[in-house]
């Protein structure tokens, strides 16, 4: 059976927790909590454990994927007010081991466990089983990671903060949108336009360029109106969002030689729907639009991750390792 372990996936909006039994177990007893309802990780975990209504056993180890860089003992989240000490949290929860992972590092750990039904193929050929993989996904922010093989043949998940790299336009209209965004933000990162706030920023920039007074729309409203075709600026915002995401993914695939595939996740793409992503979205075309290396990118497969709670699966895999 093995020891009982806790796994978590903490983003800027939600914190998800589950229990895992042993090194190969699947996450069970999943719960989702709002991060704003808790001052820190330990409080959220305690609330989760209390919600199990007298479950007789407490976890002895934990692995938590979190939406920030993991460096040293002190963690400060990028899109949340949470900040805490890893060691103090471990002691407060009575754990013999607490492993903290960047959330997209955990996603990378999940790739070897994906089954065919966990992925929607968005284009390209078959993955090279020995080549690096890239993972990225827009949610509250933009997460980026990679998966590479060591010289010993083992998979190594590599965390990074690629979402904060400077965003480049793919054409004149995107350059105009970036110029409009620069009027509000000194640095326009990929995350600034490819995330929840990115949809809102794109809509406002496009409305100003079109001479239309922007409405106070949320990302969900921009998405809904854009996909329904009821608002021209929202529709362009959704298309531009996918075009920019595809372009960033293509840059990463070229940089890392990611012939093992590019995997898209995050909470936003799932809202777009498979029909849009497969038939109308400019994501794949922008991914391949790299001049002389278009042919190279045409062969690299891109996937939408459909597996439920893949970061929890990755956290469990990392803890097992």
Are 149 and 273 part of one and the same domain? yes
**Cα angle for residues 215, 219, 223 (degrees, 5° grid):** 95
**Nearest-CA neighbor of 27 among 91, 104, 108, 113?**
113
Q: Residue 115 domain-assigned? A: no
Q: What single DSSP character describes residue 21?
A: E
- Domain-embedded: residue 87: yes
138 lies in the same domain as 204: yes
Is residue 116 domain-resident?
Answer: no
| pLDDT given at position 23 | 63
* Claim to verify: residue 30 and residue 138 sit in the same structural domain: no
Q: What is the pLDDT of residue 78?
A: 78
Look at phi and psi of residue 124 and say left if phi exceeds 0, alpha if psi is from -120 to 50, else beta: left
246 is in an annotated binding site: no
CA-closest candidate to residue 64, choices 26, 143, 11:
11
What is the DSSP pairing of strand 133-138 with strand 119-123? unpaired
Residue 10 marked as a ligand binder:
yes
214 and 288 both lie in a single domain: yes
Residues 138 and 207 in one domain: yes
Count how many domains the chain has. 2
What per-residue confidence (pLDDT) applies to 304?
97
CA angle 278, 139, 243 (to 5 degrees): 40
Q: Are residues 276 and 137 in the same domain?
A: yes
How far is residue 210 from each of residues 9, 116, 145, 253, measured CA to CA in Å? Answer: 40, 43, 36, 33
> Which residues share a beta bridge with 98?
62
Q: What is the DSSP string of 263-299?
A: EE-STTHHHH-HHIIIII-SHHHHHH--GGGHHHHHT
Residue 259 CA to residue 264 CA, distance in Å, equals 15
* Residues 176, 195 share a domain: yes
- Which residues are paired to 33 by β-bridges? 15
The model's pTM is 0.89
CATH code for the domain of 25: 3.30.420.40
CA-to-CA separations, 204 to 172, 198, 201, 211, in angstroms, rounded: 18, 10, 5, 11
Among candidates 96, 16, 1, which has minimal Cα distance to 267? 16
Dist CA 181 CA 229 (whole Å): 24
Q: The domain spanning residue 198 has which CATH number?
A: 3.40.367.20
Q: Is 12 annotated as a binding residue?
A: yes
Residue 262 lies in a domain: yes
Domain boundaries, position 58: 4-108+309-320
pLDDT of res. 289: 97
114 domain residue, yes or no: no
Same domain, 79 and 157: no
Q: What is the pLDDT along the chain (321 residues), one digit of tens a residue?
A: 678 999 999 988 899 999 998 766 788 999 999 999 999 999 999 999 999 987 888 999 999 999 888 989 999 997 789 999 999 999 999 999 999 999 899 999 999 989 999 999 999 999 999 999 999 999 888 999 999 998 888 899 998 889 999 999 999 999 999 999 999 999 999 999 999 999 999 999 999 999 999 999 999 999 999 999 999 999 999 999 999 999 999 999 999 999 999 999 978 999 999 999 999 999 999 999 999 999 999 999 999 999 988 999 999 999 877
Does 154 share its domain with 296? yes
Alpha-carbon distance of 65 to 102, in angstroms, equals: 5
CA angle 190, 244, 111 (to 5 degrees): 80
- CA distances in angstroms from 147 to 46, 112, 157, 258, 310, listed in the order given: 32, 10, 5, 9, 15
Q: Is 13 annotated as a binding residue?
A: yes
Residue 54 lies inside a defined structural domain of this protein: yes
Residue 78 inside a domain? The answer is yes
- What pLDDT score does 2 carry? 78
Does any domain span residue 169? yes
The reply to whether 35 and 130 lie within a common domain is no
pLDDT at 29: 93
Check: CB of residue 254 under 8 Å from CB of residue 263: no
The reply to whether 11 sits in an annotated binding site is yes
Q: Which pLDDT does position 24 carry in this prediction?
A: 66
143 and 276: one domain? Answer: yes
Amino acid 1: pLDDT: 66
Per-residue confidence (pLDDT) for residue 160, from 0 to 100: 85
- pLDDT at residue 69 in the model: 85
């Amino acid at each position: 059976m093995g020891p009982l372990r806790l796994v978590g996936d903490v983003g800027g909006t939600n914190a998800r927790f589950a229990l895992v039994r042993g090194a190969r177990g699947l996450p069970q007893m999943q719960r989702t909590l709002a991060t704003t309802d808790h001052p820190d990780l330990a409080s959220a975990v305690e609330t989760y454990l209390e919600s199990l209504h007298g479950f007789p056993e407490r976890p002895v180890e934990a692995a938590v994927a979190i939406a920030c860089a993991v460096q040293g003992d002190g963690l400060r989240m990028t899109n949340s007010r949470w900040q805490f000490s890893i060691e103090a949290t471990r002691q407060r929860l009575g754990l013999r081991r607490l492993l903290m992972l960047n959330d997209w590092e955990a996603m990378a750990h999940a790739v070897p466990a994906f089954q065919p039904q966990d992925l929607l193929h968005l284009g390209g050929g078959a993955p090279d089983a020995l080549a690096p993989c890239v993972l990225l996904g827009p949610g509250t922010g933009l997460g980026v990671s990679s998966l590479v093989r060591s010289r010993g043949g083992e998979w190594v998940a590599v965390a990074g903060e690629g979402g904060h790299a400077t965003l480049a336009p793919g054409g004149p209209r995107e350059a105009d949108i970036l110029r409009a965004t620069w009027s509000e933000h000194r640095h326009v990162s990929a995350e600034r336009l490819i995330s929840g706030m990115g949809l809102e920023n794109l809509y406002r920039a496009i409305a100003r360029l079109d001479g239309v007074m922007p409405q106070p729309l949320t990302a969900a409203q921009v998405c809904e109106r854009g996909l329904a075709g009821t608002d021209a600026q929202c529709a362009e915002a959704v298309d531009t969002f996918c075009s920019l995401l595809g372009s960033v993914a293509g840059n990463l695939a070229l940089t890392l030689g990611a012939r093992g595939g590019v995997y898209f996740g995050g909470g936003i793409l799932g809202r777009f729907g498979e029909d849009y992503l497969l038939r109308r979205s400019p994501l794949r075309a922008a991914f391949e639009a790299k001049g002389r290396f278009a042919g190279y990118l045409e062969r690299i497969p891109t996937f939408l991750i459909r597996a439920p709670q893949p970061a929890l699966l990755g956290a469990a895999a990392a803890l097992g390792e």
